[in-house]
Structure 1
């Protein structure tokens, strides 16, 4: 029963993202998602942001904001200490217990949903603007997104579709590959590639057998992931890598993780950058 009540509380708070209440212009905001933080900054509300989660690193100036932890593992105490008027983020990342604690402290929670697609990005920008204001800035962000994506589409439609394997790495001991229904799968497709592994959702551990069977043309990693392996030489030491087309050709691509997976206002730039690197 307690779990049901907490989930209900979270659902009630998430309703605020539909624009039921307009957030006052002078509100002090804590943002618990990097993409939402980026949109808020783009709407001209960076000065209103008094704290963020650790994924909120763009624009660069957000790095100096007080951090309250990672969006999937945040305690209420750090947020409450900042005395915000409103806390915002994504509904999939906020635990019901945290929602209940914020409510008890009298803090408004406005949550949004995110779909990893171009349309989903446009909708998220509009939804955040509907709650926090900044309609002209939202329109400008969407126009820039559309322009960037249109430029990439002209190139990717005529190009071959390389098989791309994304590896999430935190050292050689922690390596996962992304399957269907992941932001990596979606952005690989937008950039003109095809996911080298399919038939499963989310992520699963990397195995040498599956790696060789997938035989990717390109291996994609976060920049931080490649660093954790010791660079390209360390990646080549992973069993099975040198038996793939990507390994034989040393076709390894790295990108900044939040840009690659954020699906925010810079989505067009991310797709363009990845598309260029896949060539």
Structure 2
């Protein structure tokens, strides 16, 4: 299928995908809590939680911390990860300072009554053993993150914290937002000619990675009626080192980046100096979309909002 017209209905120039609120909006300011509760975690272990007054939520994406706030339990969160970075969480201790290693001593020091975590943090299993020896219940979730898993992630956290009704309502709100995001593509795309969007992860020009199947960004791109450029170009891995040849072959109509990543390469002007970028339809038309680092791949209660913001940025729909 020819790709020359796949971006014909897209506006030129860069855009920022902006959410209505910097903080997640609680589905209920005072959810009804039912404890004790026993849940089966991702490892098949039965874990009983009797107290959710002091919650620690740790994963690579900020999913669990965001969900705790969106369920209306933000005041119970006493420890977070580096990706849970929205304003309302900034005063809460970051217990994963390097983004991957759980600081056991710091976790114990905040006296948690329950810890939510998953294997997106490589140190999680060693941490779990030490925390459980200290009498702290640890609930381990599924580390996979996609748009399709967002509702199950929400309900997993809600069930573990004894607020299943709030979880169901939050999942329903998220699904409604995802439907709204998909509707924004109407008139701009169809099954035979979808715009291609390439997700580029950057930390300076020395670290440039092109997203492919399983990156997480691919499912967001699909959710707004577009096509993930890395997947369409035949990539097999979630992330592949970016080359000019590979990017040109992917023929993206737009580039998607995290805001801090875009800044790290010198903004749109700096990005377009990277070999291969201006040789793509995206580069030729300066179509670069950026989204907040802590929001884009959080996959949970903000997934619907993120998808709406991305769709509006790509198709230039007004809020």
Relative to the length of structure 2, the TM-score reads: 0.77
Which stretch of the first structure deviates more once superposed, 166-175 or 84-93?
84-93
Which stretch of the first structure deviates more once superposed, 67-76 or 251-260?
67-76
- Aligned residue pairs total 266
Partner of 1:122: 151
Does structure 2 retain, via aligned residues, the 8 Å contact 1:177–1:204? yes
Residues 1:47 and 2:83 aligned together: no
Pairwise CA distance, 1:22: 4.7
1:161-183 CA distances to partner (integer Å, 9 max, x unpaired)? Answer: 21111110101111111111121
CA distance in 2, matches of 1:204, 1:118: 21
Pairwise CA distance, 1:110: 0.9
Partner of 2:244: 208
Pairwise CA distance, 1:202: 1.4
CA distance in 1, matches of 2:185, 2:143: 25
Residues 221-260 of structure 1: pairs in structure 2 closer than 5 A: 221-260=257-296
Flag the 1:108–1:238 CA change in 2: closer, same or farther, 3 A: same
Partner of 2:169: 140
Does structure 2 retain, via aligned residues, the 8 Å contact 1:19–1:131? no
Relative to the length of structure 1, the TM-score reads: 0.87
Does structure 2 retain, via aligned residues, the 8 Å contact 1:114–1:124? no
CA distance in 2, matches of 1:157, 1:28: 45
Does structure 1 retain, via aligned residues, the 8 Å contact 2:48–2:137? no
Gap runs ≥5 in structure 1? 1-12
1:18-50 CA distances to partner (integer Å, 9 max, x unpaired)? Answer: 794452345311111311111112222212211
CA distance in 2, matches of 1:26, 1:215: 49
CA distance in 1, matches of 2:42, 2:206: 42
Q: Secondary structure at the match of 1:64?
A: coil
Does structure 2 retain, via aligned residues, the 8 Å contact 1:18–1:131? no
Q: CA RMSD in A?
A: 2.2
Q: Secondary structure at the match of 1:66?
A: coil
Greater relative contact order (CA < 8 Å, ≥ 6 in sequence): 2
CA distance in 1, matches of 2:48, 2:200: 41
Gap runs ≥5 in structure 2? 1-38
